[in-house]
Amino acid sequence: MSGKVFDAKKVLGEVVNWVRTYFENNASPETKAVIGISGGKDSSVAAAVCVKALGKDRVIGVLMPQGEQSDINYSQMLVDDLGIKSYTINIGDTVSTFMNELSKHIEPTNQAVVNTPARIRMTTLYAVAACVNGRVVNTCNLSEDWVGYSTKYGDSAGDFSPLSDLTVTEVLAIGDEIGLPHELVHKVPTDGLCGKTDEENLGFTYAMLDKYIRGEDDLSGYPEIKAKIDRLHAANLHKLRLMPKYEQNV
């Protein structure tokens, strides 16, 4: 088992330098980081990292409620705390119009209903980025990527990813190290659809998952949870890999 202690201060410095270097090598001095702001831990920490790396004038937050969003105040809290420019673009009418048109031709499945808003949000982020000379921030973390708790071409997309090698536990530690408001870093994540927390939907805690990923617990005492994590990981690897393509034998 791994006994390595996570050094949040050290890793924060490394991530900030990595983002800064990415922009130096792949963008102009005016290029901005464009990030979707949900008010949860991942977007909060990723946005704060970008501010540290680039300065608040080069980070743009995009709030994308779907109609009325009960926790939109968390998103605004982050924008105010970081002092970044933001746009609020409500995707509610867009989602409704699209789903109504789709339903004229085929009955939308639950998967279509759940994943379509995430993909419309990513389309929105790229539209904003195209208007402001921006790069879209991917806000996924290692834990959720590991079990496929993301939408392909939705929140799993982006131009650069500062947090995807960090577990949820490590993201929380980075958020605390940065000094973000506690309620943003430790806000209980929910899918906003069924009233359940992410952990309730998954059937295990992030703490258990993170220790398993980092080799700190083989979950031998929880064989059903281990089997479920392994099954989810195998089934969702396609979300993390490049699209397969046919290659000619020239």
Query: Mean pLDDT, consecutive 10-residue segments, the chain of 250 residues?
Result: 81 98 96 96 97 98 92 94 98 98 97 96 98 98 96 96 98 98 89 74 95 97 97 96 92
What beta strand segments (E) does the chain contain? 32-36, 59-63, 85-88, 134-136
Residue 86 belongs to a domain: yes
Rounded to an integer, what distance in angstroms lies between the CA atom of residue 175 and that of residue 46? 9
Q: Residue 99 contacts by C-beta under 8 Å, 6 or more apart in sequence?
A: 108, 112, 113, 116
Tell me whether residue 250 is in a domain: no
Strand ranges of the sheet holding 134-136, from the earlier edge strand across to the other edge? 85-88, 59-63, 32-36, 134-136
How many structural domains does the chain have? Answer: 1
Helix (H, G, I), strand (E, B) or coil at 119: helix
**Residue 230 DSSP SS3:** helix
For the entire predicted model, the pTM comes to 0.94
Gap between the Cα atoms of 87 and 173, Å rounded: 28
Is 249 domain-assigned? no
Which residue matches tokens 């540290």? 52
The vertex-39 CA angle with 141 and 76, nearest 5°, equals 150
Residue 48 falls inside a structural domain: yes
DSSP-assigned letters across all residues of 14-67: HHHHHHHHHHHHHS-TT-EEEEE--SSHHHHHHHHHHHHHH-GGGEEEEE--SS
For residue 196, the model assigns a pLDDT of: 80
CB atoms within 10 A of CB 16: 20
In a domain, 102, yes or no: yes
The pLDDT assigned to 21 comes to 98
Cα 43 to its chain centre, rounded Å, is: 6
Residue 246 lies in a domain: no
1 assigned to some structural domain: no
Q: What is the rounded CA–CA span in Å between residue 177 and residue 10?
A: 10
Tell me the CATH number at 225: 3.40.50.620
Taking the alpha carbons at both ends of the chain, their separation in whole angstroms is 47
pLDDT at position 190: 73
Please report whether residue 165 resides in a domain: yes
* 8 Å CB contact between 217 and 241: no
Domain limits at 119?
A: 8-239
